[in-house]
Amino acid sequence: MDSSQADYPVEWEADVVLRDGSTMHVRPIRPDDADAVQRFQEGQSERSAYFRFFAPIKRLTERELARLVTVDHAERVALVAVRPGTDDDGAGREDVLGVARFDVISDGEAEVAFNIADSVQGKGLASVLLEHVAAAARERGVRRFSAEVLPQNAPMLGVFRDAGYEISQHLDDGIVMVGIDLDPTEKSRAVMADREHRAEARSMAGLLSARRVLLVGPGSDDGTPEALLARRVLDAHRQDPGDTELVVLDPPGDVPAGVTRAAGWADVGEVDLAVLAVGPEEAVDAVRSLAATGARGVVVLSGGYSENGQDGLDRRRDLLRTAHAAGMRVVGPVSYGLLTTTPGSSLRASLAERPPPAGVVGLFCQSAAAAVTLTATLERRDLGVSSLVSAGHRADVSGNDLMQYWQDDDATRVVCLYLESIGNPRKFSRIARRLSAVKPVVVATAGRSGQVVPPGHAVRATRAPRRLLDELLRQSGVIQADNTHQLMDVAQVLAHQPLPAGDRVGIVASSPALAALVAEAAASEGLQVAASSDFLAPHATEDEIARTVEALYAPGACDVVVAVDVPVVQPRTGAIARAVAEAAARTGRTTVASMLGLHGMPDELAATADDGRTVRIPAFSTPEDAVVALGKVVEHARSRAEDRGHYVVPDGVDARRARALVEGWLAGSEARDLGVDEAAELLGCYGVELWRARRVRTADEAVAAAEEVGWPVALKSASPALRHRSDLGGVRLDIADADDLRHDVARLRGVAATVLGEDDPEFEVQAMAPAGVACVVRSAEDPLFGPMVSFGLAGDAVDLLDDVAHAIPPLTDVDVSAMVSTVRAAPRLYGYGGTPPADVDALEDVLARVSVMADDLPELAALELYPVVVAGQGAAVLHATARLRPAGRRADTLRRALPG
């Protein structure tokens, strides 16, 4: 069996990051791996061989070897971790550095075993392989692993114990028998996320701490894009080399003083990072040659990849596979490069002629064009950065990787991301949620539709509305900026001012009209204008300015300050700027300013605090810009202080049974709509009770059904076009006796004939639910976002006004509560107009259970609960439709993997 055969699970192949930040390729084993597996076994220490086989086996027999490498990828599965190597004669080969396998021993259970090369033990490879082999097992219906481990094999026991799964173990005849429940737990998810964070942060640290950088050029200065890129890197290094030692191979002409010119690959030596300014045809060979240099990553400046169609996409994949197999990360293609400003270890590996000043902002963008704009903005505003990374087409390194790094980077206090596309929204959400709890994260996205996919960006298609992206950002706890201008506005405040303690804004302005306009802008941003606000006359003396500013900054007078000085006739004296800067430095009060002629971080708005720090007040071109930026910072401070809740874990959930039902219903089927009984059974696995309805055609059948379910009843058309349309007469409620029911059957029959043209329509008879508010709960599986959950109040609010809240599981209890309370029609649930309040807790319970169900079952293509009637006590789910289809692999799964 080889990888060209149809049953080879190519979707199990993945590139992974290890604990030390290096990369490796994981894939299913193949028969042609026999020689590599034999070399792997021969290279193992006697101790490692004993731990794996309970005997010091140095070499496998032909029969043992054949059994190890020949699997069916169903009952017998094996994954190998591989890296490129060389034979004694220098020929290339692939070396196996780890093996994980399982053999099914009974229904839903398999025996698992691992073997990790001595050279990579302690780098987290066993944990990565456990994630991948567990994911493969779940796909094959295996829900439990068992393993036999020697008591002395503490590292392997630790891998099982620390993975976060539910495990059991006992000693039997000198062997530790381990049982592992493969159903994900909150702890297993947290463990995976923590390991992923550490590995990816270490991976980025390897790039951003590079000191010796290799530039690979095109070899001639012939005016090609690659030659221009290489020359730009050399010119930038001449302008400001930072602390970077630059080595160049095949430069486009002469090289500047201080740059080492390598005669060939053998002359390169060890480097930390490589920058490629070569065409895509030469890039793969260059990356292959880099494996011998010890480089941790490669920056690809040139294009010619996925923006050029399928051939270019194939070239990009070859580049990634080659780099990852050699342990390297890839930044680009079409990257502007990366740089850091850390004193004593600043990195210059970019096209930037002049690096931005040193500061505390970590800045990520994608296209080189965006990087040019942002670096010019930074220079104009005198806003400093700790590091800047342009990911280009984001083939590998993305904003997610940089957020992992910046979380632990002491030099970075504010994170700014300009995203032209988001390739893995679920992963972005969970990383950003974690990071934003400790550092502000400001995000601007390209376009307003949320559907922009620039050329070269490989992004899954999505059917999600733009509001889902906005909700994802809100759930993540980030500050959403409308554009790059606002991104920098907010960054100015966060980088140089403390987080506000509240939302009371004090205003000082150079005219009463200005003060009034600023107050109106502040109210629009949700800020409360403090009584201490005041204005200054055009001819105010320095003493009058000092008294006004002193009152504004008095203890308890306000939480934040907006200072505006726009003189009409006389020139600005700077007295207001000095007084405000000194007061802000003395009190630590969050302050922003808009003063004629000042922009960015001017020296005129700087003062020394009591502890010796220089405090700078950001200056904005207009008062409105200042207030909008301040409002976003105040809202961030408020949300950061609020309880983010805990992930919902409803009781009474039987995910295993749900999984078995779904797999059974989909067996041999491309897609199917569930019947009412099937939908009820699936919902029941998650503790959601579906009220049963009886299908009838005649009045006699309707009466019999009513007698069975109990009076009073509701009568509904079974047609989707009428079942929710009481305005068209498709629903009759609170029918108390047989005569009324017969009459209503006749009326509905007439409606069906008139509206639908049906002569023999079907109806549903259902027991009357308690009176309440009708709601709609839906879920859908999106190729890009994965599971999506939505909520709204039934009727015109949803159907005409699209008054719907969206969220992406997993959800916290706070997320669920926000979904219910933030729709515009929500007051109807809380006693609007004197009506009794509905049981919102019961409604939130239904919504939470649906979110868990959607998260668990990627096969659940669509689910609709309509109506969910929320009464004073309880929520009744009166109708449900569900559609299943075979699951595609989600972008963010329960295994760590790099883009491929």
**Cβ proximity of 471 and 808 under 8 Å:** yes
* Reported confidence tier of residue 715, pLDDT bands at 50, 70, 90: very high
Of 196, 409, 205, the residue nearest 296 (C-alpha): 205
Q: How many residues does the chain have?
A: 900
Tell me the pLDDT tens digit for each residue of 720-770: 777 767 667 788 889 999 999 999 999 988 888 888 777 889 999 999 999
Average pLDDT (823-836) is 92
Average pLDDT (626-646) is 95
Distance CA 457, CA 459 (A): 6
Tell me the pLDDT tens digit for each residue of 328-366: 999 999 999 999 999 999 999 999 999 999 999 999 999
Cis-peptide, bond into residue 333, ω within 30° of zero? yes
Has residue 456 got a pLDDT over 80?
no
Q: Is 642 exposed, middle or buried (0-12, 13-18, 19+ CB in 10 A)?
A: exposed
pLDDT at 446: 87
pLDDT at 38: 96
Residues with Cβ within 8 Å of residue 218, at least 6 apart in sequence: 224, 226, 227, 230, 250, 252, 277, 278, 279, 282
pLDDT, the chain, mean: 93
Residues with Cβ within 8 Å of residue 610, at least 6 apart in sequence: 585, 586
Which helix (DSSP H) or strand (DSSP E) does residue 166 occupy?
strand 166-172
Tokens representing 799?
A: 């159907």
> What letter would DSSP give residue 291?
G
**Cβ proximity of 318 and 332 under 8 Å:** no
pLDDT at 185: 85
Has residue 665 got a pLDDT over 60?
yes
Of 488, 455, 277, the residue nearest 373 (C-alpha): 488
pLDDT at 5: 45
Average pLDDT (808-822) is 95
CB neighbours of residue 270 within 10 Å: 11
Of 128, 39, 113, the residue nearest 76 (C-alpha): 113
Has residue 56 got a pLDDT over 50?
yes
pTM over 0.75: yes
- Name the 3-class secondary structure at 639: helix
Q: Is 354 exposed, middle or buried (0-12, 13-18, 19+ CB in 10 A)?
A: exposed
pLDDT at 395: 94
- Name the 3-class secondary structure at 26: strand
Helix %, strand %, coil % of the chain (to 5): 40, 25, 40
* Reported confidence tier of residue 448, pLDDT bands at 50, 70, 90: low
Tell me the pLDDT tens digit for each residue of 3-16: 334 489 999 999 99
Cis-peptide, bond into residue 155, ω within 30° of zero? no
Has residue 1 got a pLDDT over 50?
no
Tell me the pLDDT tens digit for each residue of 154-202: 999 999 999 999 999 999 999 999 999 998 888 998 999 999 999 999 9
Tell me the pLDDT tens digit for each residue of 855-890: 999 999 999 999 999 999 999 999 999 999 998 888
> What letter would DSSP give residue 96?
E
**Percent of the residues in the chain that have a pLDDT greater than 70, as a whole number:** 98
Q: Write the single-letter amino acid at 308.
A: N
**Percent of the residues in the chain that have a pLDDT greater than 90, as a whole number:** 83
Average pLDDT (240-256) is 95
Could you tell me whether strands 441-445 and 479-481 are parallel, antiparallel, or unpaired per DSSP bridges? Answer: parallel
Longest dimension (CA), the chain: 101
CB neighbours of residue 408 within 10 Å: 15
Distance CA 615, CA 410 (A): 19
Of 528, 573, 531, 471, the residue nearest 815 (C-alpha): 471
Tell me the pLDDT tens digit for each residue of 31-53: 999 999 999 999 999 999 999 99
Of 808, 663, 853, 858, the residue nearest 11 (C-alpha): 858
Tell me the pLDDT tens digit for each residue of 529-576: 999 999 998 889 999 999 999 999 999 999 999 999 999 877 778 999
Of 150, 138, 146, the residue nearest 176 (C-alpha): 150
